[in-house]
Structure 1
Amino acid sequence: MNAPADTEPHLLIVDDDDRIRSLLKRFLAERGFRVTTAPDGARAMSLMKGMAFDLLILDVMMPGMDGFELTGAVREKGDVPIILLTARGEADDRIRGLTLGADDYLPKPFEPEELVLRIRSILKRARPAGPAHVKVRFGSWEYDLQQETLSRAGARTRLTGGESALLSALAATPSRAVSRIALSDKTGGGERAVDVQVTRLRRKIERDPRQPLHIQTVRGEGYKLIADAVFEDRG
């Protein structure tokens, strides 16, 4: 039995291919999601002015405003999670999407069930449940390893999927260097993607990203998170 409509995660699919929009809408609706579709970026931006969405699924190769441009426009206004879909699987395109703030990147063709798994993983990070456990404190920031949430003075800062995976890997061994290869295994985006995620994280948590205090580069090795304390919060 499906959950009531107002509790279902609300997804927005943006793709200029009518067939793909229709197939994805039906498939995702059958798996308990509330789905709205748009044929292009302009229509998507119009919908977002009057509706709230839990996650966006954007095709990259669209006429007019493409998926990259739409991602950039969305990030200027908010932090709703974004998955990019594209027939182009080149590393440069993945890096561009991550740099603009996308949470995940799925090349076409793909298995629909894989898309569902990625959606649920991102939504779980965006809306975690359950009590907190191990936290790492650095400066004025706290990172909860179980819930994968970053906060300062009680206010949560949203992380993309890649940023969260990277920070989790660094926080698991605080103040110890983690190689770029090991970090790329955790984030699944390659070593260049690790550097992109580090740059984005520094912009969020460092007072001066050019002279980072918290996420430091270890020359010849990788990166490390300089932690002030590791503690267990039993709620």
Structure 2
Amino acid sequence: MSDVRPHGRSGPIAGPGAGRHLLVVDDDDRIRELLKEFLAREGYRVTGAAHAAAAKRLMELIEFDLVVLDVMMPGESGFDLTTWVRSKAETSKTPVLLLTARGDPDDRIEGLSRGADDYMSKPFDPRELALRVDAILRRTGGKPLTPREIKLGPAVFDMERLELSKDGKPQRLTEAEAQLLKTLAIHAHAPVERMSLSPDTADITGRAVDVQVTRLRRKLEADPKNPRYLQTVRGVGYMLAPD
């Protein structure tokens, strides 16, 4: 691939991105998927979008910690999308890192004047991208750390021990249920994509996640058929809404 130089390290690591959710917007499927894979190895949760319209829909539903945005896209450009991000109250403080094949200084000035936090020209080394993302997040602060315990009515979930209790009594969780609940708790009050919750990449239907959610609702909810805390977000996935 000519636009991105991949690095040889493989396998997930406990990187600086733990608990941070990034949005990667690029119309080139190969570059988008490569960036998603690399940033996931750095510990980030990563969602992808192929164009500005899809990115807007996602940002209206999900609060992202940072957006990695290609400039040259069909339809609405990355410059225009950056302007939109800055114009919306919900996203006005979301950091933006622009990527472009154009290295003209005027383009860099244009991107920064639209409100971008940083600007990288293609081709680039993903290691440098990861360092710049980390630097932006450290500079801008980001969302507060997730509390150790999440309260869900009479139930309490310990984020560190992965233990659930209800009315003071321990509730048994499978490892998959505990990890699913932790992921939802990290992103409390924000929808999480259904397929990103699937621990098994071979499960293209997401059925395993649905089964785990059903079991968790029996342990969390007073009325599992009308959930108050573990909610379904149509067309997206699930959301945890603690007290």
Q: TM-score, normalised by structure 1?
A: 0.52
The aligned length equals 127
In proportion to residue count, which structure has more helix? Answer: 1
Equivalent pairs: percent with the same residue?
A: 57
Give the structure with higher Rg (CA). Answer: 2
Structure-2 residue corresponding to 1:108: 122
Structure 1 counterpart of 2:102, one-letter code: R
Unaligned runs of 5+ in 1: 129-235
- Residue 126 (structure 1) aligned with residue 140 (structure 2): yes
Structure-2 residue corresponding to 1:98: 112
- Residue 44 (structure 1) aligned with residue 88 (structure 2): no
String of CA shifts for 1:51-72, please: whole Å, max 9, x gaps.
0100000000000011000000
- Residue 58 (structure 1) aligned with residue 69 (structure 2): yes
- Residue 29 (structure 1) aligned with residue 40 (structure 2): yes
Q: How far apart in 2 are the matches of 1:7 and 1:28?
A: 11
String of CA shifts for 1:81-105, please: whole Å, max 9, x gaps.
0000000010110000010000000
Structure 2 counterpart of 1:47, one-letter code: L
Q: TM-score, normalised by structure 2?
A: 0.50
| Aligned residue among 80, 95, 100 for 1:69 | 80
Contact 2:18-2:44 at 8 Å conserved across structures: no
Structure 2 counterpart of 1:54, one-letter code: D
Contact 2:18-2:43 at 8 Å conserved across structures: no
Structure-2 residue corresponding to 1:156: none
Query: What's the CA shift for 1:118?
Result: 0.3
Structure 1 counterpart of 2:34, one-letter code: L
Query: What's the CA shift for 1:8?
Result: 1.7
- C-alpha RMSD of matched pairs (Å): 1.9
- Counterparts of 1:175-194 in structure 2 under 5 Å? none
- Residue 83 (structure 1) aligned with residue 94 (structure 2): no
Query: What's the CA shift for 1:7?
Result: 5.0
Structure 2 counterpart of 1:97, one-letter code: G
Q: How far apart in 1 are the matches of 2:41 and 2:18?
A: 15
Query: What's the CA shift for 1:2?
Result: 5.0
Q: How far apart in 2 are the matches of 1:25 and 1:7?
A: 14
Q: How far apart in 2 are the matches of 1:86 and 1:117?
A: 17
- Residue 18 (structure 1) aligned with residue 29 (structure 2): yes
Structure 1 counterpart of 2:77, one-letter code: D
Query: What's the CA shift for 1:74?
Result: 0.4
Contact 2:14-2:42 at 8 Å conserved across structures: no
Structure-2 residue corresponding to 1:8: 19
Q: Displaced runs of 4+ in structure 1, greater than 6 A?
A: none
Q: How far apart in 2 are the matches of 1:127 and 1:98?
A: 19
Instruction: Provide the secondary structure at the position in 1 that maps to 2:131.
Output: helix
Structure-2 residue corresponding to 1:186: none
